[in-house]
């Protein structure tokens, strides 16, 4: 295929952009931050329903045995209220990290 020649040709400049093989330097660090944030986003959002799907199959037992917080089952509070806070927190941390990364690269120039 055409792109294999491209990769092997040393005279050609490397213009490859690939999320899974980030370019060294700024992009590699940026992608690392993105991976960490995405992992924290995905495990919390989809981890809970997956956990609930396996553990909670019977309504009466679930509601009798599940831990409670603020007067409601903890999983209910987690999905209805905590996760939005978590999303805000993730965006905050992401911004702090990206701010730090871009300012460190600007200073180097």
Which positions lie near other proteins, rule CB under 8 A? 1-3, 6, 13, 15-19, 23, 26-27, 30, 34, 37-38, 41, 45-46, 49-50, 52-53, 56-57, 59-60, 62-63, 70-73, 75-77, 79-81, 83-85, 87-88, 90-92, 94-95, 98-99, 101-102, 105-106
Q: Measured from the CB of residue 65, what is the shortest distance to other proteins in angstroms? A: 12
Q: Measured from the CB of residue 97, what is the shortest distance to other proteins in angstroms? A: 10
Rounded Cα distance, 33 and 98, in Å: 8
> Closest by alpha carbon to 30, among 41, 16, 19?
19
- In Å, what is the CA distance from 106 to each residue of 49, 88, 102? 42, 27, 6
CA atoms within 13 A on the CB side of 81: 7
Q: Measured from the CB of residue 1, what is the shortest distance to other proteins in angstroms? A: 7
């Amino acid at each position: 295929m055409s792109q294999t020649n491209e990769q092997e040709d040393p005279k050609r400049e490397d213009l490859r952009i690939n999320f899974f093989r980030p370019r060294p330097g700024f992009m590699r660090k940026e992608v690392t931050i993105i991976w960490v944030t995405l992992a924290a986003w995905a495990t919390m959002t989809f981890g809970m329903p997956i956990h609930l799907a396996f553990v909670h199959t019977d309504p009466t037992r679930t509601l009798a045995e599940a831990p409670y917080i603020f007067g409601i089952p903890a999983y209910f509070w987690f999905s209805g209220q905590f996760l939005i806070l978590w999303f805000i927190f993730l965006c905050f941390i992401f911004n702090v990290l990206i701010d730090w990364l871009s300012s460190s690269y600007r200073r180097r120039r």
